[in-house]
């Protein structure tokens, strides 16, 4: 669970990060929380991020998908899109997330698709639509991230970034 070997990235993005010694799949993974929840990133670009999450293990006491789990999936996908938009010199920090829960899901996988609403120099906003296996909308979310310049402290936390004296965080 949580392995990211099959993520589809645009080749130019892979090349840009590889030149800095950054392990792109590890950098744009679901993170520790997303991994615990079974989030899988399927496709990732600044134009579209797709990911899935199992309902099992992510439910509230009534057996329905927990709204907080939908929020984790939404923020993960929107943050990845924002990070890819910001490029290698910036990090994305979520500043606003809202979710509307339309229907419950009791089993299977939910799929989230994040698409940009706004991509600027200092902020990026993504709409995230989460659907069940019958393609019925479970949740609509919107995430706005602040894009800020990466610092040396940030670079120390990136997987394999700048370990060979590369330019990240320099």
Sequence-distant (≥ 6) Cβ neighbours of residue 112 within 8 angstroms: 49, 50, 51, 52, 53, 73, 74, 77, 128, 129, 130, 131
Going 31 to 94 to 131 to 100, the CA torsion angle's sign is positive
Which of 12, 16, 43, 75 is flagged as catalytic? 75
**Catalytic annotation present for 12:** no
Residue 113 is classified by DSSP as: E
Of residues 161, 151, 169, 170, the one with CA closest to residue 18: 161
At 26 the three-state DSSP class reads helix
Cα Rg for the chain, rounded, in angstroms? 16
CA distances from 55 to 66, 73, 116, 138, 139 (A): 8, 11, 25, 11, 13
Would you please indicate which residues are annotated as catalytic (active-site) residues? 75
């Amino acid at each position: 669970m949580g392995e990211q070997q099959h993520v589809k990235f645009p080749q130019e993005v892979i090349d840009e990060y590889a030149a800095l010694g950054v392990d792109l799949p590890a950098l744009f993974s679901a993170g520790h929380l997303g991994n615990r929840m079974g989030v899988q990133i399927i496709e990732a670009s600044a134009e579209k991020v797709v990911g899935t999450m199992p309902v099992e293990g992510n439910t509230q006491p009534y057996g329905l998908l927990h709204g907080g789990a939908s929020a984790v999936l939404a923020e993960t996908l929107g943050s990845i899109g924002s990070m890819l938009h910001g490029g290698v010199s910036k990090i994305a920090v979520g500043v606003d997330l809202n979710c509307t829960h339309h229907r419950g899901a009791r089993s299977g996988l939910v799929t989230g698709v994040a698409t940009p609403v706004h991509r600027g120099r200092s902020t990026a906003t993504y709409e995230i639509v989460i659907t069940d296996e019958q393609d019925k909308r479970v949740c609509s979310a919107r995430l706005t991230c602040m894009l800020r310049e990466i610092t040396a402290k940030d670079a120390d936390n990136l997987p394999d970034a700048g370990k060979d004296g590369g330019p990240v965080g320099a």
